[in-house]
Amino acid sequence: QVQLVESGGGLVQAGGSLRLSCAASGGTFGRYAVGWFRQTPGKERERVAAISRGGGSTYYADSVKARFSISRDNAKNTVYLQMNSLKPEDTAVYYCAAGRQNSVAMSLSSIDYWGQGTQVTVSS
């Protein structure tokens, strides 16, 4: 059983930056592809970024390309999401997710573990 704990969310002004962290415990983290998803009230949870087990493949949603960067440190059992040039529309609860399938496609149905989420609020 893998536990995922997100941190690093908060309130930031538009144009600012935040770095989210997802710390894993209870399993061999390097066996999982990891993704960041976000959700706002009344909307479906959407995949923002994902990274393969070894970090060689990444995915970014069009809305965050060139602004967000995902990375991982398997020795530290941690995945990061660096978010730059934040916009008010990036406001959401951000969730870390892990899946055994080594694919950055990471559909919601392929997720094996979810974190509790961290709030990111971007003010205009």
Q: What is the pLDDT along the chain (124 residues), one digit of tens a residue?
A: 899 999 999 999 999 999 999 999 998 889 999 999 999 999 999 999 999 999 999 999 999 999 999 999 999 999 999 999 999 999 999 999 999 988 888 888 999 999 999 999 999 9
- As a whole number of angstroms, the distance between CA 100 and CA 46 comes to 19
**Residue 55: CB atoms within 10 Å:** 15
Residue 124: its pLDDT value, please? 94
Amino acid at 33: A
Phi-psi region of 8 (alpha: psi -120 to 50; beta: other; left: phi over 0): left
Task: For residue 2, give the DSSP letter.
Answer: -
Residue 1: its pLDDT value, please? 86
Query: What residues contact residue 107 under an 8 Å CB cut-off, 6+ apart?
Result: none
Residue 44: its pLDDT value, please? 95
